[in-house]
Structure formats: C-alpha cells, structure tokens
Chain A
Amino acid sequence: MGRPVQYNTNERQLTIPEGYSGEGFMATKMDQLVGLGRSHSLWPLPFATSCCGIEFMGTMGSNYDLGRFGAERMGFTPRQCDVLLVAGTISKKLAPVLRQVYLQMAEPRWVVAIGACASSGGIFDSYSVLQGIDQVIPVDVYVPGCPPRPEGIIEGILRVQDLVRAESTRRRNHPRYKELMESYGIE
C-alpha cells in the first residue's frame, strides 16, 4: 500500500553559476554571484486590491509558503522592497498611487502583474478600470488567470528569480532600459 502522504520528487537544485572551480574555491563573475544572492532574497511588496489579493494571501500562507523561495519577508514600505506584486483590479483613480509606489522603490526593482485584471483589465472592460498596469509602469512578469492559482503566482516569482539571476548588475544603466523608463515618463 502506498504511503498516504505524497512528497515532491521533482526537487529543484540550486543553480550554481558558471565558473571555474577546484578544490575549495570557485571563480565566477560578480554579476552572477550577486544575481544568485538577490534571487533568493527577494523582498516582495504586495499591492493587493481585490480577489487576486485573497489568492495571494493563500500563496503566502503555510500551505503554499512563498517563503520557501526566499521571499519570506513582505515589506510594506516600497523603499525596502525589490518586487512589486500587483494583485487585483487597479482602477484609474488608483493608477497614480500605484505609480507613486513604483517610483519610491529603489533600483533594482521588478514588477509582477498577478491576474487578468492587473495584466489587461480582465473582465472589467469599463470606464473606471485601468486596462492593464503596463499603461503606467513597466511590468516584468505577467501571471495569467482569474484568479491565478497559488502555484501560478509561485511560478511567476520563479520567473522573476530567473530574470534576477540572468541580469547584469549594470542593466539599469543600459540605454534600452533608460529608453523604456523614458517611455513611461519616469526619471
């Protein structure tokens, strides 16, 4: 008889950055090391406004436990946080507030749009709702679903971690990044 308790056999190994290693040492690029470190200590800022926010609470709770991925500590001040998690419907009146929160975050910063509403306006195709937060701030990862399952939100965070790992520490000085920011009228 099988064991009643299932456990996950798809273990995720920590990805070791490329480099030269030998007995007791390892040489790699600073960027990759920093990226590795950052990706496992993301500080999320939840910007939860509606039903997706409820799903996000489930994601943070003990069943799904986002803390396993190093994003344990929710910060409720944008100045401390790295990832802005926008979960829920953003009305047009809230858009300047969201933008202000984004502006207060220090570089490097990433944004996840959780759910159909944050990504595109979702079912609220109406005069009062912002049709996707990418109209006011740049978005790195979109999580589809109405609402997304907690697994989906975790997958979104994992995609952010991939971005963080692959990112050069100088990306923010890149002309294309500056161009993107200018297209949003930021800085």
Chain B
Amino acid sequence: MTNEYIQQVLSDQFGASVWGFEESFGIFSFNMKPEINMQVLQFLYEDAGLAFQFLTDITAVHYPDRKDEELCVVYHIHNLVANKRIRIRASVPLAQPDIATATTLFSSANWMERETFDFFGVNFIGHPNLVRILNVDEMNYFPMRKEFPMEDPTRTDKDDEMFGR
C-alpha cells in the first residue's frame, strides 16, 4: 500500500474535504474537515484495500496563532496487516471545539478522548462519559492549552531571583 494509493482513494471519495497530504517523520498524514471525521475513519476502517482498523492514539495540539482552527485533533491509525500507519488531523476552533466521538467505531477511543478533553478541552460529541481522567476533578482549566502557565499558580515560595519566575 503506497501513499499515492491512499491519497488517490481518499481524494476520489471525499474530494476537497481532505487535503494537505504529506509524509512527515516517516508517517503519511493529511488534514480533514472536522465535520466528516467519522466518515473518513469509517471509510478507512471498512474499505477492503485500506483496512485501517487499529486506533493507536488520539491527541490534540494547540496552535494559538491559527485563527479559528486553534485546536488540532490528531488521530493515529494503523493497518496491522500491511503494518502501515497514518496520521489524520482535524482542526476545530477554540471558541467551539466540537468534534464527533470516535467511540462509535473504536472502543479504545474512550479513554483517549477523555484524556484529550482533560488536557485540551476538546468536546467530543456523543462520548459516553466525557469527564476528566488524569487530572484532579476540581481542576477548572485545560492545562495543555498555551494560555495557561505550566507552573503551579498556588506556589508562593519561589521568587524570581532564584527560580526565574
């Protein structure tokens, strides 16, 4: 299975809703519109020639400079037979970070989406239990978003002189 073949099949099926095909860091990747994320994943899963049936990871990246597509949700999927991995990106606006859940297709997406929600606040519509998974339940912000400082805000004993804060 070559990259060109995957690109060809996807472009035939989805037209301009998928774009930006490239190979970076040894993994073939492309962008898709967030509205059709489940159609694309379903197609990649069911098409006999593609058969990407294993979900490796879901995560997100925050790009504060990209207007209206600040949060980029990333899917890594794997064809275990051909041992081929691909990466799919879907960008959603920070103001309304909604995207359909992948739990309807992959049960393993459950915890991955909870983690992505926990750290980035991506709202996976239709997720059965979208609550925090790693951070304390009382946390009221999404720590991996770039507008929040990494440091613990309650700490008072570290001053600028010694700790560069």
Indicate if the CB atoms of A125 and B157 lie closer than 8 Å: no
Question: Quick check: which of A4-12, A23-31, A127-135 contacts chain B, the rest being far away?
Answer: A127-135
Total number of residue pairs linking A and B with CB closer than 8 Å: 31
- Residues from chain A with a CB closer than 8 A to the CB of B135 are 92-93, 127-128
Give the distance in Å from the alpha carbon of A127 to the alpha carbon of B158 in the complex. Answer: 15
A126, B157: Cβ atoms closer than 8 Å: no
Is B163 touching A127 in the complex (CB atoms < 8 A)? no
Question: In the complex, A92 Cα to B134 Cα: how many Å?
Answer: 10
Report the separation of the CA atoms of residues A13 and B159 in the bound assembly, to the nearest whole angstrom: 43
Whether the pair B152, A131 counts as a contact (CB closer than 8 A) is yes
CB-contacts of A104-134 with B (<8 A): 120-121, 125-129, 131
Q: How far is the CA of A74 from the CA of B136 in the complex (A)?
A: 30
In the complex the two chains form, is A127's CB within 8 Å of B148's CB?
yes
Shortest Cβ gap from A145 to chain B (Å)? 17
Given A92-B136, A93-B136, is A125 in contact with B143 using a C-beta cutoff of 8 Å? no
Residue contact A120 to B152, C-beta cutoff 8 Å? no
B151 at interface, CB cutoff 8 A: yes
* B155–A127 touching, CB < 8 Å: no
**Chain B: interface residue count, which band?**
10 to 19
Minimum CB–CB distance for A170 against chain B, Å: 33
In the complex the two chains form, what is the Cα distance from A8 to B150 in whole Å? 47
Q: Which residue of A lies closest to B154 (CB)?
A: A131
**Bound Cα distance from A126 to B119, whole angstroms:** 14
- Are B151 and A125 in contact, CB atoms less than 8 angstroms apart? yes
> What A residues does B150 contact at CB under 8 A?
125-127
**Judging by beta carbons under 8 Å apart, are B157 and A127 in contact?**
no
Find chain B residues with CB under 8 A from A128 CB: 134-135, 143
> Roughly how many angstroms separate A62 CA and B134 CA in the complex, as a whole number?
38
> Shortest distance in angstroms between A140's beta carbon and chain B's nearest beta carbon?
19
A23 to B154, CA, bound (A): 61
Question: A92, A120, A127: which has the most chain B beta carbons within 10 Å?
Answer: A127
CA gap between A180 and B150 in the complex, in Å? 31
Q: How far is the CB of B153 from chain A (nearest CB, A)?
A: 8
A127, B148: Cα distance in complex, Å: 10
**In the assembled complex, how far is the CB of residue B147 from the closest CB belonging to chain A, in whole angstroms?**
13
Please state if A126 and B136 are interface contacts (CB–CB under 8 Å).
Answer: no
Beta-carbon contact of B158 and A125 below 8 Å: yes
Contact check, A131 vs B155: say whether CB atoms are below 8 A apart: yes
Distance between A99 CB and nearest chain B CB, rounded to angstroms: 13
Whether B155 and A125, one on each chain, are in contact in the complex, defined by CB atoms closer than 8 angstroms, is yes
Taking a contact as CB atoms closer than 8 A, the residue among B134, B139, B152, B163 that contacts A126 in the complex is B152
Q: For window 126-151 of chain A, which residues contact chain B by CB distance below 8 Å?
A: 126-129, 131
Asked whether, in the complex, the Cβ of A121 is within 8 Å of the Cβ of B143, the reply is no
- The digit string for B121-165, where 1 denotes a CB below 8 A from any CB of A, is 000000000000011100100010000101110110110000100
Interface string of B30-55 (1 = CB under 8 A from A): 00000000000000000000000000
The 4 closest A-B pairs by CB, nearest first: A127-B143, A131-B155, A125-B151, A92-B136
21 intermolecular pairs with C-beta atoms under 8 Å apart: A92-B135, A92-B136, A93-B135, A93-B136, A121-B152, A121-B155, A125-B151, A125-B152, A125-B158, A126-B150, A126-B151, A126-B152, A127-B135, A127-B139, A127-B148, A127-B150, A127-B151, A128-B134, A128-B135, A131-B152, A131-B155
